[in-house]
Amino acid sequence: MAHAPHGRPPRVGDDAAVRRALIAFVLAVGAILVLAPLVVIFAQAFRLGIPAFVANIAHPDTRHAILLTVLTALVAVPVNTVFGVAAAWAITRFDFPGKRALTVAIEIPFSISPIVAGVAYLFVYGLQGLFGPALQAAEIKILFALPGIVLASMFVTAPFVARELIPLMQAQGRDLEEAATSLGASGWRTFFSVTLPNIRWALLYGVVLCNARVMGEFGAVSVVSGNIRGQTNTLPLHVELLYHDYNTAGAFAAASILTLLALVTIVAKVLLERQGAGRVRRPALAAPLPAAALSTAAALSPAEGAKP
């Protein structure tokens, strides 16, 4: 049996046989739970050949589901990005009553089942809900239409950007912003010149995760959309309908689009993690904080820079 290096307590994996067994176990579980389903999805999608795959993707209902999914993401992701940045800025840069409550509220979508969230929207915007009669009188349709799908998707994905930014901005502190402000920079100039460059990789990482969850959301959207074929079906809902229609090839063809989106998300996630790690390592060798703050402030325009 291999022994641990001098001065370090023994740990699992010091023995070569145990280490190989752990690696083999992880690879086997990963192949069964992750790799095998991916192989099955693409094998079934192309089982009838490429022409059949193209025909299934080009079907009007499938094309509408793809467009509706993309449109939902184009609306929900930017709104949640702005919300996440604003929430992270407020929580990490200001002290105010209710700050702890706001922090807890941001986590609520992670602790509530998406199905429950969808039902809650029914009781708020449905015909028998809180705002239902007023919306019906104004001829405004929220549920079983695009607005309801977007609202449900926004609720489910609201924490993603904020959760990535809050720990980073808390670790960075307020020193650079305070230095720039004391030297004459406006609030917006401080944000775009100092804060945003320091959080951009975490921000992009949160946006990627938010986009992936919006496109793959099923539970909340299935409740508020009405699941109307060719009208309110997003791509995950359309996969379920095709499967229930015994159109296995069409269901797997549509599922392959979602799988490709997931793979692209994973690649983007890995690249952003590498970029972010490189940015974190380099500042550790940089100048002390006062010099960094002065160099940042020096980059401001003369009108907003230091005053004599």
CA angle 11, 13, 17 (to 5 degrees): 140
Hey, what amino acid is at 222?
S
Contact 160, 213 (CB under 8 A): yes
DSSP state of 113: -
Contact 283, 216 (CB under 8 A): no
Q: Exposed, middle or buried, 44 (CB in 10 Å: 0-12/13-18/19+)?
A: middle
- The whole-angstrom separation of Cα 305 and Cα 296 is 10
The pLDDT of residue 187 is 77
The whole model's pTM is what? 0.78
In the chain, count of helices (H) and strands (E)? Answer: 16, 0
pLDDT tens for the chain, 308 residues long, are 445 555 566 666 567 788 888 889 999 998 898 889 889 999 998 988 899 999 999 999 999 999 999 999 999 999 999 999 999 999 998 888 888 898 889 989 988 889 999 999 999 998 888 888 888 888 888 989 899 999 999 999 999 999 999 999 988 888 888 888 888 888 788 888 888 888 888 898 899 889 989 998 998 999 998 888 888 899 999 999 998 988 988 999 999 998 888 888 888 878 877 776 655 444 443 334 334 444 444 444 444 444 43
Helix 60-93 with 50-57: angle, nearest 10 deg:
70
The pLDDT of residue 284 is 40
The pLDDT of residue 13 is 58
Hey, what amino acid is at 278?
G
- The whole-angstrom separation of Cα 40 and Cα 206 is 30
DSSP code per residue over 12-76:
TT-SHHHHHHHHHHHHHHHIIIIIHHHHHHHHHHTTT-HHHHHHHHTSHHHHHHHHHHHHHHHHH
In the block, tokens 């904080």 appear at 289
